[in-house]
Every structure is written in structure tokens, then in C-alpha cells.
Amino acid sequence: MERFSEYRIMWVLVFFDLPTETKKERKAHAQFRKKLLEDGFTMFQFSIYLRHCASRENADVHIKRVKNLLPEKGHIGIMCITDKQFGSMELFYCKKQTEVSTPHQQLELF
């Protein structure tokens, strides 16, 4: 198996819609977002965060971490896709198509 296969490298996407009506809900929203950032996720859109992972096994570790962060209220979705699938995404700013750029370059030391 090829070490850096676009079918082995994964992207974890976290989609969330959390209530922000009360001070407690706003705090829970801010804490959830902060913990995602601390775990290496990057904001893709306002309530969509993503993270590059070297393998499915590594992605599973981060998915488990997100599940441990789930707030009391709200809707959260977690999706894992291959680098190949991520690369085939089409993005548009209004009607103008834009380039898909990866937020971070993952380096493997060994």
C-alpha cells in the first residue's frame, strides 16, 4: 500500500448548529468551538470545521474526541471523507468558482 495515498489520508468534518439564546448556551457554543480549534480543527464555514488526518485510525481518534465534547443541546454531525473526495469538492463564492485550498499541510516525521 502506498504510504501517502489520497485514499488513505482522511478529512474529518464537524457540522454543528448550537443554540445561543441564553448565556449558558452561548458559553457551551464557545467552549465547543474552542475545543475543536485546540484539537487542530480549522473553520471552513461558520459552523463547519475540518481537520486533516494521516489515516482512518488517526481520524477515529479525533472523532472520538469530538464525541466527548458534545454539548447538552444542539445538532452536531461528523463526517469522514478521503483526501481524494475532499479534492473533488467544488467551491463557489457567489457565482464565481474558487480553488479548493487545504488549510494546513500535515507533516509526518517517521
What single string gives the DSSP state of each residue in the chain?
Answer: --TT-TTTSEEEEEEEE---SSHHHHHHHHHHHHHHHHTT-EEEETTEEEEEESSHHHHHHHHHHHHHH--SSSEEEEEEEEHHHHHT--EEETTEEE----S-------
pLDDT, residue 110, reads: 47
User: Does the pLDDT at position 84 exceed 70?
Assistant: yes
pLDDT the model gives residue 106: 56
Full-model pTM: 0.82
Domains of the chain: 10-98 (3.30.70.240)
What tens digit of pLDDT does each residue of 47-78 get?
Answer: 999 999 999 999 999 999 999 999 999 999 99
Look at 101 and 109; give whichever has higher pLDDT.
Answer: 101
